[in-house]
Amino acid sequence: MDHVATIVADIHATKPEALAVIAATLDAPVQGAHTAHAFVALPHGGRVEVEIPKFGEAPPLAIDIHDPRGAAQARAAAQSLLDLLADATAWPLHHLHD
């Protein structure tokens, strides 16, 4: 079972756009780029998925970090990604949820 930690980003972006930025930030490819289950793999066996708002809902965008190693590792991986995205983008990022 994967543990999940979530970064919240108040941006207007499509799932492919957000995943492309995350992939470039992590220097990793988007897996399944043209599918509904696209993600960016993490080196420790986890993955990053993006959940977009449903029709008619306003942002935020949810960036879910899945980690099979445990909740603490998911939070640490999410914090690391949040720090990288804060340096690489102008995205307004919010605290982590899990």
Q: How far is CA 89 from CA 37, 58, 82, 86, in A?
A: 24, 20, 10, 6
Domains of the chain, by residue range, sit at 3-97
The CATH number of 3-97 is: 3.30.310.180
Distance from C-alpha of 80 to C-alpha of 40, rounded to nearest angstrom: 14
22 by Cβ neighbours in 10 Å (0-12 / 13-18 / 19+) ranks as buried
7 by Cβ neighbours in 10 Å (0-12 / 13-18 / 19+) ranks as buried
Query: How confident is the model over 7-66, as pLDDT tens digits?
Result: 999 988 889 999 999 999 999 999 999 898 999 999 889 999 999 877 766 678 999 999
In this prediction, residue 56 carries a pLDDT of 66
In this prediction, residue 85 carries a pLDDT of 96
